[in-house]
């Protein structure tokens, strides 16, 4: 694999040391290793291992600098053909997240600290897999950042045994001791409590050296002065030494009797504990955060509560006075290191996370409305599933479309967008975007192709987003499809988007629906209620299109005449429609001598599909029932006038299109502009009857 790690700097520290150790492992095991940082003391050591280092100011919390770094880092990703971008801090994570867009690289983070729940820190939870060094940090990311538990991967930090394989040089005499605290000199590390505890130790051990190893951040100089004053007040001036940052930590550890970790806030891990144990130094630590993952109390070290100076002092004295206890804990600690905390353990687990990340694909398809359009998206869903059989495939649908895909075998889940009611308000729209973002989609395919859907794509922060460049905010998509064709059938039209992700159009693509057994039973009961259960030949007629499209509807008198012509051939007719069609159904039943049956407003989508399935032929204008009939493989006679069959006809083997060439058609107008409705009136009942009768004969 080609792996890029990005972090603020490469000076002394646990994160920096771990980055260098991991980079060496990658190179030794045949992987490409690249690191981006602002530079530091460890760059020379890093480059000696064969890792490529790019020095960039990825540590600066300046929006302008971060924006510039996105482009610079993206260029490196493309140049080095990076597959995994691993961010180890917040500013680099923001840069890396957006740099990965428009590339094939996968983004991942490691949460090395106990971050406060602020917006700036949220990016650490945006990767699909989030590495944490301890269970405590994992719980923090789940509880405070809303990260799904299955996204957390615990990979403990490691220690380089070769580096810490030094011979111990303990001071001679039972009344002598060297005690050290190692880490950044900040209030969080609890140095004041450590010094108060050491004042009690010094009273019992005459010759005690206390080393404070670590640097003081520039903004914490006042804290250093506070500690120096505390040393004088406690009478420890002859005992305490501030050693600052040291490159010879292993040698210093070799001279220590005890190492103390006095952190007062949750520690993400505690690498210094492993380093001390690797040298053979017993450890006393506060019982916080990831420390409990390393130290088993009384087995591999001693734990005390934070700020409890008396307990800390007694634990140190106990180790100094009980040599057998110290030896036993050191031996058990080394054994645990060899079993769990070697570099190879950390590296192998991290590489496994990378591998899982590469194989983990989350895809969202957006198709919110209408019912017929949701049915039309099914061939695309099937093609996506065939191309990506292991992907997690979700569909964002409206309330009307949820039942259509409820039983769809190609999708893993539905996300409902109630765009007509509760999600209509902008604040609920933003909540929906946040919900989508938590799914961490790699690809979003926007078949809705509206301003709102493009905004949802953008706010969901997917790795890639696809849709048509229709000049409606399509710049929000990472991969807008340009120069596409509009005058082609709807399913073929959708595949112009799918072609961008390597899916070619299948000429055998067809529509599907999945009524359940209870839907079929319900349809049978309806038919039985009108003495149609045993009818050999049934023709279904859909009375109208949606309420908006009056121009799509065939005249009612024509439906009456068709019913009577079919009745004359002993063919039973059933009328279907919605609640709004009750008046039309009453008109047809009143004027038709053949007395057709009517099931108006009595079925949902899948029940209607089961009912249409019982028909020999189905007659309908361009509307959702046309797509339902095509899904159920029922022969169809359909009318087109104000809309074009070239653009809206679903795929199907037995679909007869009744369409008249008119100067004004297709007009795509809900109301007839010239008032004649000629495009529909030119389709005679006799012509429709001939096609219906032919299809019935063909079916026989």
Convert the pLDDT of each residue in 82-121 to its tens digit. 999 999 999 999 999 999 988 889 999 999 888 777 788 8
Residues 546 and 675 in one domain: yes
pLDDT band at 369 (very low <50, low <70, confident <90, very high): confident
Residues 109 and 186 in one domain: no
Residues 390 and 487 in one domain: yes
pLDDT at residue 700 above 60? no
CA gap 46, 24 in Å, rounded: 8
Residues 138 and 186 in one domain: no
Q: What is the CA radius of gyration of the chain?
A: 36
pLDDT tens-digit series, residues 411-425: 999 999 886 666 667
Residues 383 and 462 in one domain: yes
CATH of the domain at 270: 3.40.50.2000
515 preceded by a cis bond (ω within 30 of 0) = no
Q: Give a yes or no: residue 297 inside a domain.
A: yes
Residue 444, both tokens: 């979003």
Last residue of a domain, one of 501, 536, 565: 501
Residues 37 and 112 in one domain: yes
Q: Which residues contact 18 (CB under 8 A, 6 or more apart)?
A: 157, 158, 271, 346
Last residue of a domain, one of 123, 154, 185: 154
Q: Give a yes or no: residue 7 inside a domain.
A: yes
Residues 521 and 497 in one domain: no
CA gap 341, 689 in Å, rounded: 80
pLDDT band at 265 (very low <50, low <70, confident <90, very high): confident
Closest CA to 441 of 127, 120, 72, 680: 127
Residues 449 and 306 in one domain: no
CA gap 434, 148 in Å, rounded: 14
Residues 187 and 318 in one domain: yes
Q: Give a yes or no: residue 388 inside a domain.
A: yes
pLDDT tens-digit series, residues 472-529: 788 999 999 998 998 899 999 999 999 999 999 998 899 999 999 999 999 999 999 9
Closest CA to 275 of 171, 137, 183, 138: 183
Last residue of a domain, one of 154, 184, 214: 154
**CA distances to 403, 602, 632 from 522, in Å:** 16, 10, 16
Q: How confident is the prediction for the chain on average, in pLDDT?
A: 91
Where would I find the H helices in 464-604? Answer: 490-498, 517-529, 556-568, 582-591
CA gap 379, 492 in Å, rounded: 10
Percent of the chain whose pLDDT exceeds 70:
98
Pairing of strands 152-154, 130-132: parallel
Residue 502 Ramachandran class (φ > 0 left, ψ -120 to 50 alpha, else beta): left
pLDDT at residue 233 above 80? yes
In the block, residue with structure tokens 């104000």: 642
Q: Give residue 590's pLDDT.
A: 93
pLDDT at residue 572 above 80? yes
In the block, residue with structure tokens 């309330």: 399
Residues 7 and 150 in one domain: yes
Residue 101, both tokens: 């867009």
Residue 242: strand pairing partners: 212
Closest CA to 257 of 173, 140, 350: 173
Q: Give residue 86's pLDDT.
A: 97
pLDDT tens-digit series, residues 309-352: 999 999 999 999 999 999 999 999 999 999 999 999 999 999 99
Contact of 520 with 513, CB cutoff 8 Å: no
Q: Which residues contact 212 (CB under 8 A, 6 or more apart)?
A: 180, 181, 185, 191, 227, 240, 241, 242, 243
**Secondary structure of residue 641 in the 3-state scheme:** coil
Q: Give residue 95's pLDDT.
A: 96
pLDDT band at 390 (very low <50, low <70, confident <90, very high): very high
Q: Give a yes or no: residue 162 inside a domain.
A: no
| Tally of structural domains, the chain | 4
Q: Give a yes or no: residue 306 inside a domain.
A: yes
Residues 187 and 98 in one domain: no
Q: Give residue 699's pLDDT.
A: 61
pLDDT at residue 173 above 60? no
Q: Give residue 87's pLDDT.
A: 96
Provide mean pLDDT across the span 295-304. 95
Q: Give a yes or no: residue 170 inside a domain.
A: no
Residue 495, both tokens: 């595949």
Q: Give a yes or no: residue 507 inside a domain.
A: no
Q: Which domain holds residue 133?
A: 2-154
Q: Give a yes or no: residue 164 inside a domain.
A: no
Q: Give residue 220's pLDDT.
A: 78
Start-to-end CA span in the chain (Å): 61
Residues 319 and 415 in one domain: no
**Secondary structure of residue 575 in the 3-state scheme:** strand
pLDDT band at 536 (very low <50, low <70, confident <90, very high): confident
Provide mean pLDDT across the span 354-380. 92
């Amino acid at each position: 694999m080609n792996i890029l790690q990005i972090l603020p700097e490469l000076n002394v520290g646990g994160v920096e040391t771990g980055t260098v150790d991991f980079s060496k492992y990658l190179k030794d095991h045949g992987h490409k290793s690249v690191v981006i940082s602002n530079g530091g003391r460890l760059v020379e050591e890093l480059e000696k291992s064969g890792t490529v280092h790019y020095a960039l100011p990825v540590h600066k919390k300046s929006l302008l600098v971060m924006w510039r770094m996105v482009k610079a880092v993206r260029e490196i990703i493309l140049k080095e053909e990076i597959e995994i971008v691993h961010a180890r801090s917040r500013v680099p994570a923001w840069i890396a997240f957006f740099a990965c867009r428009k590339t094939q690289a996968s983004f991942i983070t490691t949460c090395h600290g106990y971050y406060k729940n602020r917006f700036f820190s949220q990016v650490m939870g945006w990767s699909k897999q989030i590495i944490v060094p301890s269970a405590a940090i994992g719980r923090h990311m789940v509880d405070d950042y809303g990260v799904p538990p299955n996204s957390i991967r615990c990979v403990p930090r490691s220690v380089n045994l070769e580096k810490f394989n030094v011979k111990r040089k303990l001071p001679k005499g039972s009344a002598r001791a060297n005690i050290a605290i190692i880490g950044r000199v900040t209030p969080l590390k609890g140095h004041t409590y450590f010094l108060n505890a050491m004042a009690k130790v010094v009273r019992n051990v005459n010759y005690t050296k206390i080393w404070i190893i670590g640097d003081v951040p520039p903004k914490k100089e006042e804290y250093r002065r506070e500690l120096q004053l505390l040393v004088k007040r406690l009478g420890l001036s002859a005992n305490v030494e501030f050693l600052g940052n040291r490159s010879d930590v292993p040698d210093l550890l070799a001279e220590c009797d005890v190492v103390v970790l006095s952190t007062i806030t949750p520690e993400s891990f505690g690498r210094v504990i492993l380093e001390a144990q690797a040298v053979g130094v017993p450890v006393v630590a506060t019982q916080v955060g990831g420390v409990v993952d390393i130290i088993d109390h009384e087995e591999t070290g001693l734990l005390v509560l934070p700020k409890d100076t008396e307990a800390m002092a007694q634990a140190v004295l106990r180790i100094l006075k009980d040599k057998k206890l110290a030896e036993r804990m050191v031996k058990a600690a080394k054994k645990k290191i060899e079993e769990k905390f070697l570099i190879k353990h950390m590296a192998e687990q991290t590489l496994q996370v990378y591998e899982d990340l590469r194989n983990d694909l989350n895809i969202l398809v957006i198709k919110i409305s209408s019912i017929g359009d949701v049915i039309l998206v099914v061939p695309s869903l099937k093609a996506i599933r065939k191309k990506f059989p292991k992907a997690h495939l979700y569909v964002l649908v409206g309330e009307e479309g949820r039942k259509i895909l409820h039983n769809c075998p190609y999708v893993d889940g539905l996300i409902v967008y109630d765009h007509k009611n509760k999600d209509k308000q902008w604040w609920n729209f933003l909540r929906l975007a946040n919900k989508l973002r938590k799914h961490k989609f790699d690809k979003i395919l926007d078949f809705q192709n509206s301003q709102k859907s493009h905004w949802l794509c953008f706010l969901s922060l997917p790795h890639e987003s696809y849709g048509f460049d229709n000049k409606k905010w399509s710049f929000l998509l990472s991969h807008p499809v340009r120069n596409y064709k509009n005058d082609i059938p709807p399913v073929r039209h959708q595949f112009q988007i799918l072609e961008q992700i390597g899916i070619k159009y299948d000429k055998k693509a067809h529509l599907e629906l999945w009524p359940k057994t209870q839907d079929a039973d319900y349809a049978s009961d309806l038919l039985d209620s009108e003495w149609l259960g045993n009818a050999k030949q049934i023709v279904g007629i859909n009375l109208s299109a949606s309420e908006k499209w009056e121009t799509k509807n065939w005249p009612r008198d024509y439906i009456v005449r068709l019913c009577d012509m079919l009745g004359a051939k002993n063919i039973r007719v059933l009328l279907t429609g919605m609640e709004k069609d009750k008046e039309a159904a009453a008109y047809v039943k009143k004027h038709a001598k053949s007395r057709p049956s009517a099931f108006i407003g009595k079925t949902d989508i899948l029940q209607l599909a089961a009912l249409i399935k019982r028909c020999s032929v189905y007659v309908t204008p361009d509307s959702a029932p046309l797509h339902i009939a095509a899904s159920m493989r029922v022969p169809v006679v359909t009318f087109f006038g104000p809309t074009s069959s070239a653009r809206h006809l679903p795929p199907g083997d037995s679909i007869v299109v009744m369409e008249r060439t008119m100067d004004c058609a297709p007009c795509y107008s809900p109301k007839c502009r010239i008032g004649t409705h000629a495009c529909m009136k030119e389709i005679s009942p006799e012509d429709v009857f001939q096609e219906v009768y032919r299809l019935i004969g063909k079916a026989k």
